[in-house]
Amino acid sequence: MANFSSIVLLSLYVSGSALLIASLIGLPIGASLALKPPRAHKIIELIIYTGMGLPPVVVGLFVYLLISRSGPLGWLGWLFTPTAMIAAQVIIALPLVIGLTLTAVQSVDPQLRLQVRSLGASPAQVMRTILWEARLGVVAALLTAYGRLAAEVGAVMLVGGNIQGSTRVLTTSIVLETRQGNFELALALGGVLIVLTFMANFFLVRLSGQTRG
């Protein structure tokens, strides 16, 4: 049971940390891109939208090559650690957070931006205000990113190694238990994963509902 709870906690820690880091980087980038004239960021937008469809296993491979002992970042000693799993998941989540934030902020009435500036807002105040106005879309961006991270298996398997008591998370456990024929346990773990995702969605939707209006 202790082993089971450590798997659940590690899953939450890895995906939650990755989402937090990707949000801290991605929200301001997505908002500032949306507030610039469209022609200024068409190419960047294209790259971001391509990144949104990046296969996690390919991201895992890149991160693996970067942090493996002979890789350029091998000196960090991150391979087969939760830190490596978080790093890979940040790369997976970042284009999603940036791209969906960009879309959410772009959907805010352009005249509102002009009005906010006319009322004396600094560029940072404009960004904060428009992000707040786009909060439902931003929450949807975070939910989508969390859903992708919680369900992700390829990257965490490659860079984490699925080591018991160290880097084993719910998705990698399900793969392992299925391979070993422990279908009941695999199904139970799958159920826990779905419940956790539901709870995260419920929390974020409630949060956005409370702050609406």
Partner 1 sequence: MADLYQLANLQKIYLDRTVVTIDSLSIQRGEFLAIVGPSGAGKSTLLRLLNFLEAPTSGHLTFDGQPVPSAPPLSLVRRVTTVFQRPALLSRSVRENVAFGLRLRGLHPDGAVTQALERVGLAGLGTVTATTLSGGEMQRVALARALVLNPDVLLLDEPTANLDPYNVNLIETLVREETSRRGTTIVFVTHNVFQARRLAHRVGLMLNGALIELAPTVDFFDSPRDPRTAAFVKGEMVY
CA dihedral 63, 29, 9, 79 (to 10 degrees): 20
Residue 24 touches partner 1, criterion: CB under 8 A = no
Q: Residue 38: which residues within 8 A CB-CB, separation 6 or more?
A: none
- The tokens for 8 are 């659940």
User: Among the candidate windows 6-14, 83-91, 126-134, 153-161, which touches partner 1 by CB under 8 A?
Assistant: 126-134
C-alpha–C-alpha distance, residues 33 and 83, integer Å: 29
Q: How far is the CB of 179 from partner 1 (least distance, A)?
A: 50
User: Which residues between 52 and 71 bind partner 1 (CB under 8 A)?
Assistant: none
- Residue closer to partner 1 by CB (options 106, 129) is 129
Q: Residue 212: which residues within 8 A CB-CB, separation 6 or more?
A: 135, 136
Residue 111 touches partner 1, criterion: CB under 8 A = yes
Residue 133 touches partner 1, criterion: CB under 8 A = yes
- The tokens for 25 are 């980087």
Binds partner 1 (CB under 8 A): choice among 107, 115, 164, 180? 115
Q: How far apart are the first and last CA of the chain?
A: 44
Residue 163 touches partner 1, criterion: CB under 8 A = no
Residue 164 touches partner 1, criterion: CB under 8 A = no
User: Among the candidate windows 26-34, 42-50, 113-121, 185-193, which touches partner 1 by CB under 8 A?
Assistant: 113-121
Residue 112 touches partner 1, criterion: CB under 8 A = yes
C-alpha–C-alpha distance, residues 210 and 51, integer Å: 32
CB 143 within 8 A of CB 200: yes
Q: How far is the CB of 44 from partner 1 (least distance, A)?
A: 21
Q: Which residues bind partner 1 (CB under 8 A)?
A: 109, 111-112, 114-122, 125, 129, 132-133, 212-213
